[in-house]
Amino acid sequence: MPHVGARAILRTAQREGYGVPCLLAGNMEMLIGAVRAAEAIGAPLILAYNANVTPQIPIQAMVHAMVHAARATHVPVATILDHGTDLATVAQAIQLGISTVMYDGSHLPFTENVRTTQEVVRTAHAAGVEVEGELGTIGGSSIELGYVNSGSEFTDPALAAEFVSQTGIDILAVSFGNAHGVYSGAPQLDLGRVRSIAAGVDVPLAMHGGSGLDRTSYAAVIAAGISKINYYSAMGIAVTRMLRAYLATAPDNELIFHQVIDFTIKQFYTETSRLLTILGCKDRFSSKNALS
């Protein structure tokens, strides 16, 4: 199946009532675990590179590997630059063959966010690449992820409609009580706001900070109009916990690094399979059908 932009995957998900995870491909273990899981259960997938989270892994190496993996699968896989902060990085990701770029101008005043996002859309669309923009600030409590808590400002539905029509973006990331990193307590999500935003725009909506919700909340978030769910912290913590237990049981000198790599891939595979099933992605694609 060809490497695709995220919009077609998300439009199909919206129509059929499921959510699609956007997973970090921060290194090869994460990438291989995620793609194998999607293939094994017939799910679509969005793979992300994020320079805030894995600055030690060069964008060139990871994007090439992501694009190669997307082209080699029989399920639809999109690739995205997560939280591109400037035109130069966006241009670099496009040049490396990515199918979608996120440009995050949410910290800027509205008119400035519109202006810079328009510029990204012009550059990306000229290369056949799709764009995710962001309006409203998504808070974050995790310094490790490179996000600072800026005090969330929820997305205004009227401004969201204006933002989408003025910029021509393909996907909109919204703020409605979601936050990057680990939630302290159950998140208070304003789903009425999501419904209002969804009613006023004709593009799929993205939820950043999508890990750490309980199972029923995902169904509610998807029913309200979210189709792209950025998910990392809970998975990163779960895999680390299993890795710690695995290392603790191995006697000295009986474990070599390539075995650790193998174990880690299996953990990302298991966690991804679980998530894809929770979001309703299981058995959506096989080698016999394609995106409609």
Work out the number of other CB atoms within 10 angstroms of the CB of residue 38.
Answer: 31
Nearest-approach distance from CB 252 to Zn ion, in angstroms: 40
Q: How far is CA 182 from the centre of its chain?
A: 16
> What would you report as the CA-atom Rg of the chain, rounded to the nearest whole angstrom?
18
Candidates 193, 208, 228, 284: give the one binding Zn ion (CB under 5 A).
208
Nearest-approach distance from CB 85 to Zn ion, in angstroms: 12
Nearest-approach distance from CB 253 to Zn ion, in angstroms: 41
Binding mask 241-270 for Zn ion (x = CB under 5 A): ------------------------------
Residue 137 or 167 with smaller CB distance to Zn ion = 137
Q: Contact 47/38 with Cβ under 8 angstroms?
A: no
Q: Which stretch binds Zn ion (CB under 5 A): 7-15, 72-80, 200-208, 253-261?
A: 200-208
Q: Checking DSSP bridges between strand 100-103 and strand 77-84, what pairing results, if any? A: parallel
Residue 159, strand partner residues: none
Helices (H) and strands (E) in the chain, counts: 10, 10
Residue 173 or 265 with smaller CB distance to Zn ion = 173
Residue 68 or 107 with smaller CB distance to Zn ion = 107
Amino acid at 29: E
238 closest CA partner among 188, 273, 279:
273
Nearest-approach distance from CB 151 to Zn ion, in angstroms: 16
Q: Which residue is nearest to Zn ion (CB)?
A: 208
Nearest-approach distance from CB 170 to Zn ion, in angstroms: 17
Work out the number of other CB atoms within 10 angstroms of the CB of residue 245.
Answer: 9
Q: What angle do CA 218, 21, 200 make, to 5 degrees?
A: 70
Residue 36 or 208 with smaller CB distance to Zn ion = 208
Query: What residues from 44 to 103 belong to the interface with Zn ion (CB under 5 A)?
Result: none
Residues serving a catalytic function are: 82
Residue 175 or 196 with smaller CB distance to Zn ion = 175
Q: How many residues does the chain have?
A: 292
Q: Strands of 28-170 (E only): list them.
A: 45-49, 77-84, 100-103, 130-135, 139-140
Identify the DSSP state of 143: G
Residue 218 or 232 with smaller CB distance to Zn ion = 232
Q: Which stretch binds Zn ion (CB under 5 A): 12-20, 205-213, 216-224, 232-240?
A: 205-213
The sign of the torsion formed by the CA atoms of 159, 15, 225, 75 equals negative
* By CB under 5 A, residue 228 contacts Zn ion: no
Residue 137, strand partner residues: 153
Applying CB under 5 A, what is the total number of residues that bind Zn ion? Answer: 1
Q: Which stretch binds Zn ion (CB under 5 A): 38-46, 112-120, 195-203, 208-216?
A: 208-216
Nearest-approach distance from CB 138 to Zn ion, in angstroms: 6
Amino acid at 237: I
Q: Which stretch binds Zn ion (CB under 5 A): 7-15, 202-210, 256-264, 276-284?
A: 202-210
Binding site for Zn ion (CB under 5 A): 208
